Amino acid sequence: MNRSDPIYNTIALVILTIIFVLFWNFTTGTSDVEGRIASNEVVMDSLSIIYEHFYRMIPIFFTVVLFSLAITFFLEEWIPQQSWQYRIIERIIAILASIPSLVYGILGAYLLVIQSDRISYLTLIVTVVLLVVPVIIQSTQMAIQGVDIPVREAAYALGANRWRVIADHVLPNAFPVILGGIFIAISRVLAIAALIIVVYEWKITQLQSMISFGISKSVVILLSSALISSIFSSFLHKNSDYRTN
């Protein structure tokens, strides 16, 4: 076994994270009993909702991750990088990924939960897709572009076809970074789910009046500023030396 292989390091990291999460209560327990009881009333309810929907989210999440990996490999390996299709798709993904997750959360809560007055499976799917796909695509793109071009060429020169090159060389080399992107996406979904559920715990009508009054304006401002900044940054990215090949 090769100890320097990043895959083993990643697996070790995952196991450590799981252990840490399992012993979370043990490590963060406080002696302030009264304060805990007081705060737990709100937190426990929202946590139970998170857990309930987390189990629902697992199959959706797996499908979405596979879907976005497929999109990325198609984008990076099949579409020529100088073509206008590639540039447009890449720009759209950059813009979607740079929008704060709070915007997606509030839009999801407002348009899909409050308007239809229930949390449906479709709500989860749409919100998770919007939150997860651009982030995973961006990190996977970085990972694939990070694989040495000579390694690919050596494999092609031996007579490997495109599928073999991807399966034997690109994916194993890019795997740790791809996994990191998936974890970032998970944390993004969980963070915004917690926030939205805490908000949802309040009276829906209150939220509705808030949204119709002030938040819609702030959402528009947020969205437009995110758009402008991401378009600006994508032009900067285009002019930088980052992508030479």
Partner 1 sequence: MMQPKINSPTLHINDLNVWYGKNQILKDLTFDVLAKQVTAFIGPSNSGKTTLVRCFNRLNDLTTNFKHTGKILFKGNDLYSTKMNATKIAKQIGMVFQKPIPFRKSIYENVAYSARLHGINHSVELNETVEDSLRKAQLWEEVCNDLQSTPDILSNGQQQRLCIARALAGNPEVLIFDEPCEQLDAAETPKLEAIVQSLKSQYTLIFVTNKRRQAARVSDVAGFLYCGELVEFGQTEQIFTNPQDKRTEDYVTGRLG
- Interface residues toward partner 1, by CB under 8 A: 2, 4-5, 80-82, 148, 150-161, 164, 168-169, 172-173
Q: How far is the CB of 161 from partner 1 (least distance, A)?
A: 5
Count Cα atoms within 13 angstroms, Cβ side, for 142. Answer: 15
Q: How far is the CB of 234 from partner 1 (least distance, A)?
A: 21
Cα–Cα distance list, 162 to 73, 78, 104, 129, 166 (Å): 11, 9, 36, 28, 6
CB nearer to partner 1: give 168 or 201: 168
Q: How far is the CB of 149 from partner 1 (least distance, A)?
A: 8
Q: How far is the CB of 91 from partner 1 (least distance, A)?
A: 19
Residue with tokens 């974890």: 183
Main-chain phi, psi angles of 102, to 5 degrees? -60, -40
CB nearer to partner 1: give 55 or 84: 84
CB nearer to partner 1: give 32 or 153: 153
Q: How far is the CB of 238 from partner 1 (least distance, A)?
A: 16
Amino acid at 196: I
**71 Cβ contact list (under 8 Å, min separation 6):** 133, 137
CB nearer to partner 1: give 29 or 159: 159
Q: Tokens in use for 230?
A: 């991401």
CB nearer to partner 1: give 83 or 116: 83
Distance separating alpha carbons of residues 186 and 199, to the nearest angstrom: 20
